Each structure stands twice: as structure tokens, then as C-alpha cells.
Amino acid sequence: MLIAVDIGNSNIGFGLFPDPLRSASLIVRKAHSHPARTSGFYKKIIAQMIKETLAENMPPSISAIVASVVPARNTLMNKALSSYCKKRPL
């Protein structure tokens, strides 16, 4: 499973690829960049996306990649993603 996050000036885009090597399926969500939110807010968005995708248990491996033009949001997003990923997002 791969979580891709695009942190922009106006919006933050979340993309969830349940099985990136075998399927092109994708779940997408967006959130406004302003006002600033907590890592818990972003964690809820990610959790809902995963819940919609999986009927049962969490997959053994979740990776994340983040693209950002707003460095002030990076720490919050990395904190939210760390709940699901065993390693730091790329």
C-alpha cells in the first residue's frame, strides 16, 4: 500500500494506492491548506481512506511519499503518516 501526499499552497492532496504493483485503483481526498490543522486532523483523513479500502486488517507494509511546497506543513504530515508507516516518508 502506498500513500502519496501533495502539500500545496491552497490544498493538500491525499492519494491511496491499495496495491500499486498490481492495480491502478486509487482513492483521492483533498483538504484545504489554510487554516493550519493538527497532525490528528490529517491522521483522520488517512485513517478513513484506509478504512474505505480495507475490509479487514491493516496491510503489513504501508509506504508514503510526500511532495511539498509548504515546508511548515511537513512535520505535521510526517507525524500523521508515522502512525501507519514503519519508516519515514520519502
Question: Are 19 and 25 a contacting pair, CB within 8 Å?
Answer: yes
Question: Look-up: residue for cell 519515514?
Answer: 88
pLDDT of 52 strictly over 90: no
Q: What does the mean pLDDT of the chain come to?
A: 86
**What pLDDT score was predicted for residue 58?**
59
- State the DSSP code for 86: S
Task: Return the C-alpha cell found at 28.
Answer: 483521492
β-pair partners for 31: 12
Strand order in the sheet with 63-68: 27-32, 11-17, 2-7, 63-68
- Has domain 2-82 been given CATH number 3.10.290.20? no
pLDDT of 29 strictly over 60: yes
**What pLDDT score was predicted for residue 14?**
95
Domain coordinates in residue numbering, the chain: 2-82
56 compared with 71, residue with greater pLDDT: 71
Question: Are 37 and 75 a contacting pair, CB within 8 Å?
Answer: no
